[in-house]
Amino acid sequence: MPNQIKQFDFLVLGSGIAGLTFALKVAPHGKVAIITKKHRAESNTNYAQGGIAAVTSKEDSFEMHVRDTLEAGAGLCNEEIVRTIVEEGPARIAELIDLGMRFSEREIPRSNGARELDLGKEGGHSKRRILHAKDVTGREIERALLAAVAAQPNIEILENHFAIDLITSQKLGDEGHNRCLGVYVLEKSTQRVETFSAPVVLLATGGCGKVYLYTTNPDIATGDGVAMAYRAGAAVANMEFIQFHPTCLYHPKAKSFLVSEAVRGEGGVLKTIEGVEFTDHYHPLKSLAPRDIVARAIDSEMKRSGADHVLLDITHQPAQFIIERFPNIHATCLQYGIDITKEPIPVVPAAHYQCGGVLTNMDGETEIVGLYAVGEVACTGLHGANRLASNSLLEALVCADRAAQRIISHPVPPSEARIPEWQSGNASNADELVVVSHNWDEIRRLMWDYVGIVRTDKRLQRAQSRIANLQAEIQEYYWDFIVTSDLLELRNIATVADLIIRSALQRPESRGLNYNLDYPNPDPDWAQRDTIIRNPI
């Protein structure tokens, strides 16, 4: 029996901070479906620790936040966008608090018990400006936003629904300006592919940490949004700038556990396994230098000494302070037998954040009419060649609002196009599932070894030819067999891996997160140039 097309006014792909914020803003204007591939809270947002950067203190200024962002971005940020996002931040934070978000507070000294927001510090920030909820900021954001969404009758959340591909006018053979008409979605419990249509589709699918073997990201982060937008013909920008977080817990049983930069903000110091500080050789800000510099410093110390990790030491702080400020990090490390109040934490760098993504303006508009992108999936120009810590939650919050305001003031008219049903392969062969898991592991290891913190053209070219072979194999498999979420994610990580490699090969310089030994310095000619890739459809 043919599936009926499910019609909405707004389709939101993803239920992290970007998708939920946008959904709440547009809900008074029409019916919203939030399509999310696992449980509604499962997102990078949910694991955010450090907090949200915003100017809320008298000691701070927009100018200083702008300067720190530009400095971290290594010459590639778009200053107008940086300024807009920084300046709109405080108003969006106030709305989040009104919605029920509980940030950590502290008592104002000599004030008879009056309280103010507690501000944390992270790498590259010249002031304390990170609003946080202890060390579980993201969990608290998801709680507050999901509670607000639950109270909105116009919003339907569809969990375990995997967005496969965007439906566009060009794919249907229309040669006019490309327009997004809807999405094909795998309903995981029935394994059926459903068709959703709406004049507005928001990509809020987050990042792609799972493209790498070691990552701080949860399993959802497979770059689906970038891969879908690329297949649909949208421009994808600056994918070479993958941020490696310097301090992921190093323990054989710990999967992807981040040790927040806020630990260094509160005095934590990086040391070699012999207990010697080393970051002073790399930057005057030592352990709190911008992230690209600290991650490279650790990588180079590990290569020099042959050690498989370094240490992060905060034991000089009082135990009670550590436990109150970092309850989640303390408890999690304790589970692995590490008492962070008494001993240093073994850490390694791991893939953390995608600075590039689907090219948008600051209202989330892509090159495809009706298709918007907000949050980690998007490349607005805020982060440039390296994101300043805690600027991503800020960007998602501000740009979700801007996209919603833009759409409300300039509604996209519904389309008359007839959307065909999904055509499925008709074979399933359990024996072949090994191909999926093998290729998945191979891509992630290849990216870690050849397209990691330090690159060379030769390694990038090797990686490119292997990914091309894997893509051919995956494509064949894709058309022959019934789609599963594992196969869809494999196809997407292969596409994103290819985009990262092609972008890195296009940039003949080292800048921010793109460090290439064949061109060890920045090239002034590339200072304001984005690497942009479009699928020739």
**Which 5-64 residues touch ligand FAD, going by CB under 6 A?**
13-19, 35-38, 42-45, 47-52
**Which 254-313 residues touch ligand FAD, going by CB under 6 A?**
258
Does the protein bind ligand FAD through residue 137 (CB under 6 A)? Answer: yes
**Which 255-314 residues touch ligand SIN, going by CB under 6 A?**
260-262
Residue 83 annotated to the active site: no
Q: What is the CA radius of gyration of the chain?
A: 23
Indicate the pairing of strand 269-271 with strand 310-313.
antiparallel
CB 249 → ligand FAD: shortest distance, Å?
11
Cα separation, 265 vs 243, whole angstroms: 19
CB 50 within 8 A of CB 170: no
Does the protein bind ligand FAD through residue 248 (CB under 6 A)? Answer: no
Give 344 or 349: the residue with its C-beta nearer to ligand SIN: 349
Closest CA to 203 of 175, 177, 168: 168
Does the protein bind ligand FAD through residue 407 (CB under 6 A)? Answer: no
For the window 166-205, what string marks contact with ligand FAD as x by the rule CB under 6 A? --------------------------------------xx
Of the residues 138, 246, 290, 346, which one makes contact with ligand FAD according to CB under 6 A? 138
Contact window for ligand FAD (CB under 6 A) among 105-113, 330-338, 374-382, 447-455: 374-382
Of the residues 21, 205, 390, 415, which one makes contact with ligand SIN according to CB under 6 A? 390
Give 373 or 453: the residue with its C-beta nearer to ligand FAD: 373
Give 138 or 349: the residue with its C-beta nearer to ligand FAD: 138
Binding partner of 268, given ligand FAD, ligand SIN, none, CB within 5-8 angstroms per partner class: none
Q: Return the HEC string of 391-415.
A: HHHHHHHHHHHHHHHHHHHCCCCCC
Helix (H) or strand (E) holding 165: strand 161-168
Does the protein bind ligand FAD through residue 217 (CB under 6 A)? Answer: yes
Binding partner of 19, given ligand FAD, ligand SIN, none, CB within 5-8 angstroms per partner class: ligand FAD
Q: Which 8-state DSSP code applies to residue 126?
A: S
Closest CA to 119 of 64, 71, 67: 64
Does the protein bind ligand SIN through residue 389 (CB under 6 A)? Answer: yes
Q: Which residues touch 467 (CB under 8 Å, ≥6 apart)?
A: 443, 446, 494, 497, 498, 501
Give 81 or 389: the residue with its C-beta nearer to ligand SIN: 389
CB 360 → ligand FAD: shortest distance, Å?
12
Does the protein bind ligand SIN through residue 217 (CB under 6 A)? Answer: no
The full length of the chain comes to 537
Sign of the C-alpha dihedral, residues 441, 444, 450, 454?
A: negative
Closest CA to 15 of 375, 317, 346: 375
Binding partner of 344, given ligand FAD, ligand SIN, none, CB within 5-8 angstroms per partner class: none
CB 378 → ligand FAD: shortest distance, Å?
8
Judged by DSSP in three states, 173 sits in coil
Judged by DSSP in three states, 124 sits in coil
Q: Label residues 58-85 b or e (16+ Cβ within 10 Å = b).
A: eebeeebbbebbbbbbbebbbeebbbbb
Cα separation, 213 vs 441, whole angstroms: 8
Give 260 or 354: the residue with its C-beta nearer to ligand SIN: 260
Cα separation, 532 vs 268, whole angstroms: 38
CB 61 → ligand SIN: shortest distance, Å?
21
Contact window for ligand FAD (CB under 6 A) among 78-86, 384-392, 506-514, 520-528: 384-392
Lookup: tokens for 488: 């869809």
Query: E-strand spans in 238-343?
Result: 242-249, 269-271, 310-313
CB 174 within 8 A of CB 49: no
Give 45 or 510: the residue with its C-beta nearer to ligand FAD: 45
CB 419 → ligand FAD: shortest distance, Å?
18
Judged by DSSP in three states, 58 sits in coil
Does the protein bind ligand FAD through residue 237 (CB under 6 A)? Answer: no
Give 226 or 295: the residue with its C-beta nearer to ligand SIN: 295
**Which 331-370 residues touch ligand FAD, going by CB under 6 A?**
353
Binding partner of 297, given ligand FAD, ligand SIN, none, CB within 5-8 angstroms per partner class: none
Cα separation, 239 vs 263, whole angstroms: 28
Phi-psi region for residue 113, left (φ > 0), alpha (ψ -120 to 50) or beta?
left
CB 127 → ligand SIN: shortest distance, Å?
16
Cα separation, 43 vs 437, whole angstroms: 22
Selected catalytic residue, list 291, 444, 455, 459: 291
* Burial of 502 per CB tally in 10 Å (0-12, 13-18, 19+): middle
Binding partner of 496, given ligand SIN, ligand FAD, none, CB within 5-8 angstroms per partner class: none
CB 394 within 8 A of CB 53: yes
Binding site for ligand FAD (CB under 6 A): 13-19, 35-38, 42-45, 47-52, 137-138, 162-163, 204-207, 216-217, 220, 224, 258, 353, 375-377, 390-393, 396
Catalytic residues: 291
Binding site for ligand SIN (CB under 6 A): 49-50, 260-262, 389-390, 392
